[in-house]
Amino acid sequence: MVQKAPELSVVARVLVSGGAGYIGAHTVVALHEAGHDVVIVDDLRRTNQRVVDGIAKLVGTSLPLLRVDVADEAALLAGLASQAPFDVAVHFAAYKSVRESVDNPALYYANNVGGTATLLSVMRKLSVHRLVFSSSCTVYGQPDVLPVTELSPIVVAASPYGFTKQVCEQMICDEVASSSSEALTNGLSLRYFNPAGAHPSALIGEFPFGVPDNLVPFITQTAAGWRPRLSIFGDDYNTPDGTAVRDYLHVCDLADAHVAAVDWILAAEPGVEVVNLGMGHGVSVRQAIDAFETATGVTIPVVMAPRRPGDVEQVWSSCAKAAELLGWRATRSLSDMMSSAWAWQQTLGAQSLV
């Protein structure tokens, strides 16, 4: 049965793994603004000190930052023990490139699955019983019915990355099902659709690691001249303009969803839930490029390219459960995603950093 979100925000001590990453940094700021005590765990391996500095400027102080690898159990335990107790953990720390996961599956299993196993083990030792997990709509593959609800079937993963999300969700279910008093009492897996955009201050955003796979950073890097052109992967899909359709949502809306998730899990009865987080409608690749050009006045050189292996044709979310369970709904526009992503990109300079 679906439990209602509590009316009032509860101040909690929250451990955020990957809190200097793209979604993590925006969530850390939103949690702090909501009055929570935040401790960041991030080894900065795939982000940058400037994101940490941006967080500090936005919240007006340096939040505790443990520079440890979540997959290093001894270091994680020692670091977190010095900051304990915690009421809840929000676990972002993971790699996220589908392409890289196909090239190097072991890396993804070690980091994403290994890191989650380590975190769960350390949470047991520190008596942290509530976990909000960063999952993905990739668990649904190409659904037969749109919009995708949380009852849509989980399919065989199209990539090792996708499989790591499925495995981690299952690990959380298994922990909660354990009768051990040390285990998790509550797990909440948030299945994100396509996060985009940056904080309106342009002090934090997605820090590029290598050539981006994702559409919006590739658009902004092309606009900045870091890339000569954008390839549109496929224009022969069965969609209104032939290009693939996704459900883009603003990263600040996503951050707000995590605040709602933390508030919810603090008051929830023991158990596991999964919730989709999206805008609830589809946007094609061409529409996304048009939205960027309209929002910024910058033209993107594009070329047509073959379909990208592993891509689904179209996917967008049902928002009903997020509204009912968390009292959350995305409100920021596609135009806002594009203009804020561009503002952040411009802070990174004219020369490619990668």
Region of 3-11, 55-63, 122-130, 224-232 interacting with ligand UFG (CB under 6 A): 224-232
Q: Is 303 left (phi over 0), alpha (psi -120 to 50) or beta?
A: beta
If one asks whether residue 137 binds ligand UFG (CB under 6 A), the answer comes out as yes
Q: Tell me how far, at minimum, the Cβ of 271 lies from ligand UFG, in Å.
A: 26
Smaller CB separation from ligand UFG, 19 or 282: 282
Smaller CB separation from ligand UFG, 74 or 354: 354
Active site residue 95: no
Cα–chain center distance at 319: 17
Site for ligand UFG in 194-223 (CB under 6 A): 194, 213-215, 218
Residue from 121, 201, 231, 347 that binds ligand UFG (CB under 6 A)? 231
Q: Choose the catalytic residue: 108, 161, 237, 248.
A: 161
Region of 10-18, 102-110, 148-156, 231-239 interacting with ligand UFG (CB under 6 A): 231-239
Report in angstroms the alpha-carbon separations of 119 from 71, 189, 273, 286.
7, 15, 19, 40
H/E element, 250 = strand 248-250
Cα–chain center distance at 215: 15
What does the block give as tokens for 209?
């690691």
Helix (H, G, I), strand (E, B) or coil at 110: helix
Smaller CB separation from ligand UFG, 95 or 264: 95
What does the block give as tokens for 191?
């299945």
If one asks whether residue 148 binds ligand UFG (CB under 6 A), the answer comes out as no
If one asks whether residue 261 binds ligand UFG (CB under 6 A), the answer comes out as no
Site for ligand UFG in 308-327 (CB under 6 A): 308, 311-312
If one asks whether residue 277 binds ligand UFG (CB under 6 A), the answer comes out as no
- CA–CA separation, 249 and 278 (whole Å): 6
Q: Tell me how far, at minimum, the Cβ of 89 lies from ligand UFG, in Å.
A: 21
DSSP character string of 77-90:
HHHHHTT---SEEE
Site for ligand UFG in 21-80 (CB under 6 A): none
Q: Please name the residues in contact with 159: beta carbons below 8 A apart, sequence gap of 6 or more.
A: 98, 101, 102, 138, 310
Question: What is the 8-class DSSP label of residue 325?
Answer: I
Give yes or no for a contact between 137 and 148, defined as CB atoms under 8 angstroms apart. Answer: yes
Residue from 30, 34, 51, 98 that binds ligand UFG (CB under 6 A)? 98
Helix (H, G, I), strand (E, B) or coil at 164: helix
Residue from 285, 291, 295, 325 that binds ligand UFG (CB under 6 A)? 285
Nearest CA among 330, 144, 321 for reference residue 255:
330
Site for ligand UFG in 157-176 (CB under 6 A): 161-162
If one asks whether residue 300 binds ligand UFG (CB under 6 A), the answer comes out as no
Smaller CB separation from ligand UFG, 125 or 308: 308
Residue whose CB is nearest to ligand UFG in the complex, by number: 244
Smaller CB separation from ligand UFG, 65 or 230: 230
Q: Please name the residues in contact with 124: beta carbons below 8 A apart, sequence gap of 6 or more.
A: 180, 182, 183
Amino acid at 131: L
What does the block give as tokens for 101?
């996961």
Residue from 51, 230, 262, 322 that binds ligand UFG (CB under 6 A)? 230
Region of 39-47, 134-142, 332-340, 344-352 interacting with ligand UFG (CB under 6 A): 134-142
- CA–CA separation, 175 and 186 (whole Å): 9
Region of 55-63, 111-119, 199-207, 228-236 interacting with ligand UFG (CB under 6 A): 228-236
Beta strand pairing call for 283-284 and 245-246: antiparallel
Residue from 91, 199, 246, 250 that binds ligand UFG (CB under 6 A)? 246
If one asks whether residue 138 binds ligand UFG (CB under 6 A), the answer comes out as yes
- How many helices (H) and strands (E) are present in the chain, helices listed first? 12, 13
Question: Known catalytic residues?
Answer: 161
Kindly list the residues in this chain that would bind ligand UFG in the complex (CB under 6 A).
Answer: 96, 98, 136-138, 161-162, 194, 213-215, 218, 230-233, 244, 246, 285, 308, 311-312
